[in-house]
Amino acid sequence: MNETYQYRPARFFLAAYLATWISWFLAAYAGSREGLEPYAVLLNFVGLAGPCAVALVLVLTSGNQTLKCDLKDRLLNLRRIHSAYLILAILLPFAVICSSIFLSLWLGQSTDQFQLAGGANLAAMVVLALFLAPVLEEMGWRGYGVDSLRAKFGMMASTLLFAVLWCVWHAPLVLIGGTYQNQLATMDNPMFVTNFFVSIIPAGIITNWFYYKNNRSIPAAVVVHSMLNAASVLLNAGQVAKCIATLLYAGTAAGLLAIDRTIFAEGPRNFLTGGERAKEPTRSRTRSVRAS
């Protein structure tokens, strides 16, 4: 069966949320019971793999060879990636966090923030933030979720919707002891945990932009995701600086929306057919042809 595949975004996101949240709520319970703490760590990782697992199940059981080949090519074909965008993806997050630290000095924050982060859990955090989370999440989000939204909505609407869904998806982590989100939630200032969730919105916009500018390359999205995490983890930036970073990321996202208006004006598109849906506005369709 190789006819045009009809994406199922509601099914994907509902299943991804359930696969992740069930594991994470169990992890929160295990973490609160003496002797069950190791299971909390395991369940945390299981939940992290939820979007990836759901995407693979939907693709592999679809019976559609075009969908399967598309996923394989987007995952393995590195020629989709433009080197200029790859360099930008690496440099941008570190430029933002360094600028944020510099600006935080005016608010009385320490210059020690420019030092590399340390601590007993740094190695585990690096493995999680730079490798496991980006790969597992992007295999799900970019492997199926984002394109499923794009098949139903325009570029702008699907990007903003995904950013919100991605933000909410992280919510149960505040309940799991030992996670970064739980540490933020237990701080005296609630602004810091709020900032974490707000920061996901511009990060989602930026990552989506990089994904589509690199011909829907999943490795490109992994690199962007990894570098966003790396800039936050590897430097000893304080929470004030990270709040400033959110503002700078929001400014960057707004800049992309303004500068690259053509791509964000595009209407719904199923990439497995190579064209936009019939109901796409004429103006958006014309822009897409000119851009290509």
Distance of CA 90 to the CA centre of its chain: 15
Which range is most confident: 52-66, 110-124, 270-284? 52-66
Q: Is the pLDDT of residue 149 over 80?
A: yes
170 labelled catalytic: yes
Tokens of 53: 């697992």
CA distance 38 to 50: 19
* Nearest one of 106, 253, 113, 232 to 180, comparing CA atoms: 232
Q: pLDDT tens across 229-259, in order?
A: 999 999 999 999 999 999 999 999 999 999 9
Which of these is catalytic: 137, 138, 266, 276? 137
Cα end-to-end distance, the chain, whole Å: 30
CA distance 237 to 241: 6
Of the two residues 119 and 175, the one the predictor is more confident about is: 175
276 labelled catalytic: no
Which of these is catalytic: 3, 170, 266, 280? 170
